[in-house]
Structure 1
Amino acid sequence: MKNYIKLLLALFTVALTGCEDVIDVDVQTDTLRLVVEASLDWEKGTTGNEQLITLRTSTPFFDTESTNVTGAEVSVTNNATGEVFLFTDQNNGTYTTSTFEPQLEATYTLEILYDGERYIAEDTMNPVPDITDIYQDTEDGFDDETIELHIVFTDFEEEGDNYLFKFERPQDLLPTLETGDDEFINGNEVDWWYEIDDDEDEEIQPLLPGDVVNISMHGISRSYFNYIDIVIDQMGGVGIFEATPVDVKGNCINTTNPDNYAHGYFRVTQTNKATYTVQ
């Protein structure tokens, strides 16, 4: 009887093995495009002279090779003064300068010459208020047992301010990004709170004592606000209440061949940074 059972198992294994077929799946590919990571952030209390821009090409789904772009010519111009800041190719996809001079309310133009084509982008540097206090409690969030962080600042008197907040713990795969404007808070003291929802499927835990949270607050242009707001919606995934994924175009225009636009965005911001340890 045991030998009979062993024979059946062997035949079943052979049958399964014989049913294996190689299936070729056509994966949809998109045009390879230049990807621009150009965030010139002037942290308060620093000169802001040292800045970095990263260039690469978009990556096919199964491609594991490096897509860093080298050999490009990269510069940023202050439109008001005409001063040009050249970024040096580090031969690893990064381009750096140590001479950038940030100026509030100034508009800057990025120019990239790559593979015979010219890309340009523009953004204006907006001021950011001082953070006057950071504290924690459990009273204002969606869960009265979950710790939330509070960032306190006073919005500027003139209307039209836009903000980007970035919260990041070392153990998190991705930071949390949030946007805000002063439509309903203009000129007032603002208490901006941040809470993490417990998500067992994604292995994300709420804020716990001992957690270190790195905080960035940026003063951003309205055009960048509109762009990053869509990006944040896309990061939420696809579900009943989430946004449908779309091709999000940044502000980098190809003046040589407009159809061959670049991904990414050129932004210039003034920034506050702080680190908070949850108690």
Structure 2
Amino acid sequence: MKKEIFYILFLIALVSCEDVVDVDLPETEPRLIVNGLLRVDKSQEFVDVRIEMRETTNFFEDNTITQVESAVIGYGVPNQFGELTQLAFSSLTEEVPGTGVYVPDPNFSSDQRIRTAAVEPGVVFILQIQHKDKSYYARTEYAPTVPLDNLEQGDNTLFDEDETEVIVTFTDDPDTSNYYIFDFGYGNFQALEDQFFQGQQFQFSYFYDSNLNPGQTVTISIMGAHQEFYNYMDLLVEQTQADGGVFQTPVATVRGNVFDVTGLDNIDIFDNVERPDEYALGYFAVVQEFSRSLVIE
């Protein structure tokens, strides 16, 4: 009985020794986050333009939806001086109030949708945003890609016997150095370059964890990319293997191509030369996409 009383008193002493530690986290200014990945399906008449606007918050809090004062996409073919010719514009508006998702304005005086026929190699796209008295600018060139040759289920595993192997096959374009982004669904992406298989058919395996069931359908997409977007996605994939996806706030800051150009009168320095602390997060890219679906056995 004395031993039991001793143990109880010992446990009470341990609990009473615990202190609550308050961590003073740094106050950070909210940053605009732009999820501007436009996927071009050339079999459709129009590009599916949907750009999501969010803002960073303090540590341990989810990013919040935000609204912008204006968002416009301009596109054309650059001449020898870098100036866009055959210039066209698409004015965007919030699809549903309070969602932070911006689409071509259906109430504009003319059709603001972007036709896929106008999206060809060499066409440059510019995104301009006004948000909380700041101006943001992003520039990207359309990135075509190749279709998937085949998609099949394999029998191998990598780490866990409950994993599901999917074997992806495609043929690289032999004429240029290519970069690819693969979307495996569920927030899973993979960046790939053709350094070791240029112009050849290439096959690789991707392993899903145990969340796939027989009869479930998975859709896998191959997207084109230029080197800058490839580098951006490659870094984000490394940082987000175990959390909420590549368009969440990363552990370390990975800058995209959306720059704060407030007050700049020279577009040649839009990429924040000598302004290292003024930028938005996220990326604006216009890429061709091919998709295939597979029913899991």
Asked whether the two chains share a fold, i.e. TM above 0.5, the reply is yes
Match of 1:225 in 2: 230
Match of 1:79 in 2: 76
Asked whether 1:192 is paired with 2:204, we answer yes
Q: Which amino acid aligns with 1:249?
A: R
Q: Take 2:190 and 2:11, find their aligned partners in 1: how far apart are those partners? A: 54
Match of 1:111 in 2: 128
1:227-246 correspondence to structure 2 within 5 Å = 227-236=232-241, 246=252
Match of 1:171 in 2: none
SS at match of 1:247: coil
The match for 1:133 among 134, 141, 150 is 150
Q: Take 1:62 and 1:182, find their aligned partners in 2: how far apart are those partners? A: 38
Is the CA contact (8 Å cut-off) linking 1:78 and 1:107 kept in structure 2?
yes
**TM-score, scaled relative to structure 1:** 0.79
- Structure 1 unaligned spans of 5+: 169-173, 197-203, 238-243
1:126-165 correspondence to structure 2 within 5 Å = 126-138=143-155, 147-165=164-182
Q: Take 1:192 and 1:44, find their aligned partners in 2: how far apart are those partners? A: 26
Closer, same or farther: CA 44–63 of 1 in aligned 2, 3 Å:
same
Residue 186 of structure 1 deviates from its aligned partner by: 2.0
- The CA RMSD over aligned residues, in Å, is 3.1
Q: Take 1:149 and 1:184, find their aligned partners in 2: how far apart are those partners? A: 21
1:1-279 correspondence to structure 2 within 5 Å = 19=17, 21-63=19-61, 67-80=64-77, 81-89=86-94, 90-92=96-98, 93-97=100-104, 99-102=113-116, 103-105=119-121, 106-138=123-155, 147-168=164-185, 174-196=186-208, 204-205=209-210, 209-236=214-241, 246-256=252-262, 258=275, 259-279=277-297
Is the CA contact (8 Å cut-off) linking 1:41 and 1:48 kept in structure 2?
no
The Cα offsets for residues 17-36 of structure 1, whole Å up to 9 and x where unpaired, read as: 65565432212343311111
Closer, same or farther: CA 263–252 of 1 in aligned 2, 3 Å:
same
Residue 87 of structure 1 deviates from its aligned partner by: 0.8
Q: Take 1:32 and 1:56, find their aligned partners in 2: how far apart are those partners? A: 10
Q: Which amino acid aligns with 1:54?
A: E
Bigger shift: residues 179-188 or 214-223: 179-188
The count of corresponding residues between Structure 1 and Structure 2 is 257
Is the CA contact (8 Å cut-off) linking 2:90 and 2:113 kept in structure 1?
yes
- Structure 2 unaligned spans of 5+: 78-85, 105-111, 243-249, 264-274
Is the CA contact (8 Å cut-off) linking 1:162 and 1:182 kept in structure 2?
yes
Q: Take 2:56 and 2:222, find their aligned partners in 1: how far apart are those partners? A: 28
Q: Take 1:192 and 1:221, find their aligned partners in 2: how far apart are those partners? A: 21
Residue 184 of structure 1 deviates from its aligned partner by: 2.4
Closer, same or farther: CA 117–152 of 1 in aligned 2, 3 Å:
same
Q: Take 1:246 and 1:16, find their aligned partners in 2: how far apart are those partners? A: 37
SS at match of 1:150: strand
Residue 216 of structure 1 deviates from its aligned partner by: 1.2
